[in-house]
């Protein structure tokens, strides 16, 4: 059979002719959709779909000095924490006419550095990061990028531009103190220490245990690689081999806590009568586990919403950055059935 002949690539003028508008109107609808009426936008969108038109982004950027791209670098594409976060960013930016371009650093500062270089090459309107510990070269690039840069999730004393997050260290302290205040003395931890946020939570645990004169290295089971649910069960099994008198465990995130719950079920360990469990992040499933998981609730959706609001205000509004460049959103302990709630209510 003869090969099907390819249709020539459609041009902006083809879209304008199909939609019955000027090329200027089509260009405006692509760059600033809020400036075009909904009826015209619908006609233009239909023409674009019918003609399979692909905008020439490079030419558009050169012509307007605007890319309408928001660059975002997340630490993981599989972790539920970042799924919630990204959903809010898309909900905020897309109706405002911006496309969100997402790259994955895989918890590696070096990969984050490469992602920053890649995104800056696309001339984004702003960059939003889910870490506060950049390499020196990445930090230098961001400091001279000339665009809003939002560092989120953690807190830093040296924001590049604007920092929105929580104290991961203080949250680790709170989770550990909660278990101690319930009356537990053999309080363990299962966590990963491959990224700065995880390390800060572990540091909070260590200092809380030291302050209570309960420190014991045998109560710590840490992994140098990113966490999974399966890993939670494996870390608990290793911890119990070394510390069979374990009374409670702080899990560095909810995925690990879910694995711990599964391992307890396999072993017939009653929760919370024989072992109290605290997780971290308050993912959607935490309230629906059995027993329901006590965990640290992190306002990740609020971080994303506030980041988007600030970026939109800077690039579309007054151009002014907020007076406070380091915004601590705080966190809370969501008390549920995996710890002794009755005792916790009088202790916390």
Task: Evaluate if pTM is beyond 0.85.
Answer: no
User: Which token pair is 200?
Assistant: 């800060």
Contacts of residue 46, Cβ cutoff 8 Å, sequence gap at least 6 = 19
What pLDDT was estimated at residue 48? Answer: 85
Same domain, 104 and 17: no
- Rounded to whole angstroms, the Cα distance separating 283 from 292 reads 12
Same domain, 53 and 88: no
Same domain, 89 and 140: yes
Looking at the domain assignment, is residue 325 inside a domain?
A: no
Q: How many residues does the chain have?
A: 348
Contacts of residue 200, Cβ cutoff 8 Å, sequence gap at least 6 = 154, 167, 168, 169, 172
What pLDDT was estimated at residue 7? Answer: 53
Yes or no: say if 235 and 256 are a contact pair by the CB < 8 Å rule: yes
Same domain, 29 and 87: no
Same domain, 141 and 174: no
Chain segment 240-290, per-residue pLDDT in tens: 999 999 999 999 999 999 999 999 999 999 999 999 999 999 999 999 999
Looking at the domain assignment, is residue 6 inside a domain?
A: no
Same domain, 138 and 270: no
Yes or no: say if 252 and 198 are a contact pair by the CB < 8 Å rule: yes
Same domain, 85 and 156: yes
Residue 225 sits at φ, ψ, to 5 deg, of: -120, 160
Looking at the domain assignment, is residue 287 inside a domain?
A: yes
CA angle, residues 301, 303, 306, in degrees to nearest 5: 105
What pLDDT was estimated at residue 55? Answer: 66
Same domain, 237 and 259: yes
Reference 184, options 214, 204, 217, 210; nearest CA is 214
- Rounded to whole angstroms, the Cα distance separating 235 from 292 reads 20
Looking at the domain assignment, is residue 191 inside a domain?
A: yes
Looking at the domain assignment, is residue 304 inside a domain?
A: yes
Yes or no: say if 126 and 311 are a contact pair by the CB < 8 Å rule: yes
- Rounded to whole angstroms, the Cα distance separating 179 from 252 reads 14
Looking at the domain assignment, is residue 42 inside a domain?
A: yes
Domain count for the chain, please give it: 3
H/E stretch holding 291 reads: none
Query: How do beta strands 69-74 and 99-104 pair?
Result: parallel
Looking at the domain assignment, is residue 3 inside a domain?
A: no
Same domain, 110 and 135: yes
Yes or no: say if 194 and 225 are a contact pair by the CB < 8 Å rule: yes
Same domain, 160 and 234: no
Question: What is the full DSSP assignment across 202-221?
Answer: HHHHHHHHHHTT---GGGEE
CA angle, residues 174, 238, 281, in degrees to nearest 5: 30
Q: What is the DSSP letter of 320?
A: P
Contacts of residue 233, Cβ cutoff 8 Å, sequence gap at least 6 = 259, 260, 262, 263, 266
What pLDDT was estimated at residue 344? Answer: 40
The CATH number of the domain holding residue 31 is 1.10.260.40
Same domain, 82 and 177: no
Per-residue pLDDT of the chain (348 residues; tens, 9 = 90+): 444 444 566 788 888 999 999 988 988 888 778 788 888 888 998 988 788 776 665 555 444 556 799 999 999 988 889 999 999 999 999 999 999 999 999 999 999 999 999 999 889 999 999 999 999 999 999 999 999 999 999 999 999 999 999 999 999 999 999 999 999 999 999 999 889 999 999 999 999 999 999 999 999 999 999 999 999 999 999 999 999 999 999 999 999 999 999 999 999 999 999 999 999 999 999 999 999 999 999 999 999 999 999 999 999 877 778 889 999 999 999 999 999 843 443 333
What pLDDT was estimated at residue 105? Answer: 96
Query: How do beta strands 326-328 and 332-334 pair?
Result: unpaired
**Residue 26: which domain range?**
12-64
Same domain, 339 and 215: yes
What pLDDT was estimated at residue 66? Answer: 67
What pLDDT was estimated at residue 60? Answer: 53
CA angle, residues 212, 218, 223, in degrees to nearest 5: 110
| 162-165 β-sheet, strand order | 99-104, 69-74, 126-129, 149-153, 162-165, 326-328
- Rounded to whole angstroms, the Cα distance separating 254 from 302 reads 19
Chain segment 121-135, per-residue pLDDT in tens: 889 999 999 999 999
Longest dimension (CA), the chain: 81
The CATH number of the domain holding residue 250 is 3.40.50.2300
Looking at the domain assignment, is residue 182 inside a domain?
A: yes
- Rounded to whole angstroms, the Cα distance separating 279 from 80 reads 14
């Amino acid at each position: 059979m003869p090969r099907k002949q390819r249709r020539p690539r459609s041009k902006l003028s083809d879209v304008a002719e199909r939609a019955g508008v000027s090329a200027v109107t089509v260009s405006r609808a692509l760059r600033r959709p809020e400036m075009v009426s909904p009826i015209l936008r619908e006609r233009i969108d239909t023409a674009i779909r019918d003609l399979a038109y692909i905008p020439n982004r490079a030419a558009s950027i050169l012509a307007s000095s605007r890319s309408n791209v928001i660059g975002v670098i997340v630490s993981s594409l599989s972790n539920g924490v970042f799924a919630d976060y990204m959903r809010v960013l898309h909900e905020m930016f897309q109706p405002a006419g911006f496309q969100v371009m997402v790259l994955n650093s895989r918890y590696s500062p070096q990969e984050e550095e490469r992602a920053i270089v890649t995104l800056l090459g696309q001339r984004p309107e702003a960059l939003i990061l889910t870490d506060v510990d950049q390499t020196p070269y990445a930090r230098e690039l961001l400091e001279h990028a000339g665009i809003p840069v939002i560092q989120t999730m953690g807190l830093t004393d040296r924001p590049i531009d604007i920092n929105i997050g929580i104290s991961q260290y203080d949250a680790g302290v709170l989770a550990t103190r909660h278990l101690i205040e319930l009356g537990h003395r053999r309080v363990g931890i299962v966590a990963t220490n491959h990224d700065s946020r995880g390390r800060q939570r572990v540091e909070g645990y260590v200092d809380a245990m030291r302050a209570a004169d309960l420190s014991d290295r045998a109560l710590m089971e840490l992994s140098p690689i990113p966490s999974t649910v399966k890993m939670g069960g494996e870390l608990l099994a290793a911890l119990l081999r070394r510390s069979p008198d374990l009374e409670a465990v702080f899990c560095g995130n909810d995925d690990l806590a879910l694995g711990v719950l599964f391992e307890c079920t396999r072993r017939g360990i009653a929760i919370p009568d024989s072992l109290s469990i605290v997780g971290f992040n308050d993912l959607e499933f935490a309230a629906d586990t059995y027993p329901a998981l006590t965990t640290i609730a992190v306002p990740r959706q609020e971080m994303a919403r506030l980041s988007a609001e600030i970026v939109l205000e800077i690039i579309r509004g007054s151009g002014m950055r907020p007076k406070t460049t380091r915004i601590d959103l705080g966190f809370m302990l969501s008390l549920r059935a995996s710890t002794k709630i009755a005792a916790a209510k009088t202790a916390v």
